Amino acid sequence: MTRTASLLFMLALAMAPAWAQHSHVHGQARLDVAIDGPLLALAFEAPLDSLVGFEHRPRSPAQRQAAEAAIARLRDTAALWQPDAAAQCSATETTLDIDALQPSATPAAAVAAEHAEASGRYVFHCAAPAQLKAVTQNLFDAFPRLQRLDVQVAGPGGQVKQTLRRPAKAVRLVR
Ligand SMILES: [Zn+2]
C-alpha cells in the first residue's frame, strides 16, 4: 500500500458523516470502524471524563499520573484491539489526539480545554480480510469509568450501528 493510498483512506474516514449528531456524554465513547479491502480502521473518541475523570489539563501530581496512564493505554494498540486472529491483521498506523491530556504552562489553554476529548485512530492491514468478522475491544478494561461505547461500522455490508455496554467486548463487523 502506498503512502498516498493510506492518506486518502484516512481522509475518507475522517470525512465519514458517521457522527452527524456529535455527542459528548460522560461515561460514554464513540467508535467508528471502517473496512476497505485489506484495511481496517478504528477511530475512537471519548470525553476526557470517560478516560480520566476530569476534563481540564492535568494539574495535580495525581492527575498527571492518571493522564500519563491513559495516554499509555491509548498507545497500546495490541492491548486495546484484537481483530479476529484468522484475518491476520497487523497494526500499521496509530495516531492519537491527546493534547488535552498534556500538562500546559498557560492558564488560557487550561480554560479552553473544558469538556475536552481525546481520540485515537488505529489502522490495521489484514492478510485475510474475508475472515474478519469481529474485533475484540478492551476499552472497558483500560478505562474503568467508561460504561458505554457507541459503534458505527462502515464496510462492504453497508453501515451498521451497535451499542456496547460494559462489559461487552465484541464489535461485530458483519450483519
Ligand atoms: Zn464533558
Q: Is the pLDDT of residue 40 over 70?
A: yes
Domain boundaries of the chain, sorted by first residue? 28-172
> Quick one: pLDDT at residue 1?
44
Handedness of CA 116, 34, 158, 139 (dihedral sign): negative
Distance 133 CA to ligand 1 centre (A): 33
Distance 46 CA to ligand 1 centre (A): 9
Q: How far, rounded to the nearest angstrom, does the alpha carbon of residue 111 sit from its chain's CA centroid?
A: 25
Span 165-170, average pLDDT: 98
Instruction: Dig out the grid coordinates for 153 from the structure.
Output: 461500522
Rounded CA gap, 60 and 66, in Å?
Answer: 10
Span 55-83, average pLDDT: 95
- State the CB neighbour count (10 A cutoff) for residue 103: 13
Distance 82 CA to ligand 1 centre (A): 28
Half-sphere CA count of 64, side-chain side, radius 13 A: 5
Distance 2 CA to ligand 1 centre (A): 38
Span 134-139, average pLDDT: 98
Span 58-65, average pLDDT: 93
